[in-house]
Amino acid sequence: MTRFLYLTDTHFGANPIGFHQQTAYPERLADLINALRGEVIRHSADFVIHGGDLIDCCSVDLIRQAYDLLKLPVPVYLCLGNHDLDRPDAVELWLSHAPDLFIGGSPHYEVVCTSCVVHVMPNHWESGYEYYWKGAQMPCFTESQLHRLEQAIEAHPGKAHVLVTHSPVFGMSREQSGLDRVIHDAPETFRQSIVNLVRKHPGLKVVLSGHNHLNTLHLTEEAAFASASSLVETPFEYKLVEVSDTQMRMTTHRLDLSGLTGFSPDYNEARTYVQGREQDREFIVAIP
């Protein structure tokens, strides 16, 4: 059995916070990570994956501070998000000052486990600008990324596969939100590039993302596509992914902050859809 925790969009260093879905407390990240330590132990997690936007803007100081905060009893890995990549030399800075958040000195890598392989593949944000977010919201992959991913999947034919990228593949449905539109929908070209991969490779059963700060789940015959809310937004949630020889299971959990005195976070009752319905917060998919 492989177990890992998945969290995302901490935006450390934001002052004030920009985009958010619920009330956000990036300044309390140290307290939240301290609470996460207990969750790592409680779930007997093998590692933790951060789905991106660890920091709010890329600088050496913020990288170093966030890197120090993420010292946990197990390895922590990062899928770079757009806010992590808002300068041309961002990847160089990350690999130089937080090397343990990656494997093999690359932002695109694999975590190979006994029962699965987790493929961390950050998306780009504009064609022609690899690992550099200038403000565009046009997620895409390069052909070389997709080719490398396929090779990595084919190199482990007997294992189940999980893909982690920052941008969500599907938006939040009208049924979940109760609104008259899909929230944070993905461009069709981006969505199709991942859907095609899932159809071509039956072992690729789960795609995890962040960016939209929403708990969403889209199930197809081939795979589960899930996004997660921000760890620093009330009520401070993360995902637990458990992989056995026969199934993958994802559940959504809240940090236990009962030991944190003097902290009374606000919650926007008009946006309870951020947390999702029960069916948006967990899944089980069979492994052939």
Distances (CA, A) of 237 to 5, 25, 43, 247: 11, 13, 14, 23
Residue type for position 19: F
- The first and second tokens of residue 196, run together, are 């095609």
pLDDT in tens, 220-279: 999 999 999 999 999 999 999 999 999 999 999 999 999 888 899 999 999 999 999 999
The 10s digit of each residue's pLDDT in 205-222 is 999 999 999 999 999 999
Average pLDDT over residues 183-197: 95
| Chain position carrying tokens 């925790």 | 5
Whole-number Å distance between alpha carbons of 279 and 262: 33
Is pLDDT above 90 for 288?
no
**Other CB atoms within 10 Å distance of the CB of residue 75:** 16
Segment 36-89, tens digit of pLDDT? 999 999 999 999 999 999 999 999 999 999 999 999 999 999 999 999 999 999
Amino acid identity, position 239 = K
| Strands 76-78, 109-112: pairing kind | unpaired
